[in-house]
A and B are shown apart, each in its own frame.
Chain A
């Protein structure tokens, strides 16, 4: 059974760096075609894709946030880590990790497995 679970601080101060961890089970981060993503959702607002890391360690970032984001993985711990610098109150929201459907490595797919999300509030 594929599961993803987000963890991290519930409260961060403005200008601080947020570090979130996605712990996965039921699959290996090294399996060809595996692609894990971070997606966020401000309260009452739409979903926004943030970043992705692939089985071969290739990474991709949101156009508007790429200067603030770093995604990495620890395959020995089955974890994907997202760091976001210079946090602001507008970054408040629920942060999800989601796995892209495991298909042909050369093609993009939809998100078929999601974690439950972790709520992050940015406030002094």
Chain B
């Protein structure tokens, strides 16, 4: 199974500032035949199911604010939340879907 490792485990960011979350996979998740990274990011607010934010490492899901952006390729990825808002307090997970079983990172808790 591919192991996903996020860093940090938690971070506190002031309102309006930028939060940066890193995700590393134990195996490359770039598929050459499709030229895509099989990496997604989810937001989970307390008491809620995960919500898809980003897929293909950098494509925002419809309706997701532009302050959320994803970058990276191969085995190193980043989720950036610019101009942090109060409603962004949540746990964020990366997930690889390059292979079955799909696997998630351990989560990063973002606080104000």
Contacts and interface: CB of A to CB of B under 8 A. Distances in A.
Interface string A24-67: 00000000000001000000001111001000000011110000
A46 B52 contact: no
Contacts, number: 58
B21 interface: no
B65 interface: no
Contacts of B40: 110-111
A120 to B, nearest CB: 15
B50 A114 contact: yes
Contact of A46 (B1, B49, B55, B104): B104
A105 interface: no
Interface in B44-65: 48-52, 55, 61
Interface of A: 37, 46-49, 52, 60-63, 96, 98, 100-101, 107-112, 114-117
